[in-house]
Amino acid sequence: MLSLQPLPGDKMILSDFELKRMISSKKLTVEPLSEDTIQQNGIDLKINDEIAMGTKRTDADCIDATSNEDIKRFYKIIKSKDESFTLSPLHHYLLSTREHLELPNDLMGFCGLRSTFARLGFVSPLTIIDAGFNGTLTIESFYGGSAPIKIPVGCRFLHVVFARLTTKVDAPYRGHYQNQRGIKLPKAVT
């Protein structure tokens, strides 16, 4: 049986100490950085003032996932007017982070909802931040609660755990979502 043991001195998941060190040395960028951003084994990110809501359609409607224009028809972008969002139950949302991240070529991140949001009825798939990524994050979430819920702009909703790669990647992330700011709708599937 193969045993994957870290080599002496290897770091896997970064602690608060290591995250502070990387941010202060500018190897990892998190802006703006608040006092409550760095946690024991990751960072907490805040909801920005713009979200996208998946629009409900009839069963006769079908998203053509190969068409960027068709995908756009199924989302409504909402800008906060009063420092909060009221989200409807049983809807799909795209939430963006207030913080801008820039990862070096030997660091990646695992994103998950903070447990408070999960306990309120939100579900979100695991999202990966690739080595070399630069921008804000757009996170898919489904609100499965039974009543509308009011969420303040700027509240911590996402936890990111960082892992150091064994080497720098040969090809840092340069995909469709590089340098994104605010909500970025899904790209067409190719």
Q: Active site includes 140?
A: yes
Task: Name the DSSP letter for residue 188.
Answer: P
**How many Å apart are CA 30 and CA 129, to the nearest integer?**
13
Backbone phi, then psi, for 173, in 5-degree steps?
-60, 130
Which whole-number Å values give the CA distances from 97 to 16, 32, 54, 67, 168, in the listed order?
A: 20, 11, 18, 26, 26
**How many Å apart are CA 46 and CA 162, to the nearest integer?**
17
**How many Å apart are CA 80 and CA 49, to the nearest integer?**
5
Out of 18, 50, 102, 140, the active site residue is: 140
* Catalytic positions, written as ranges: 140
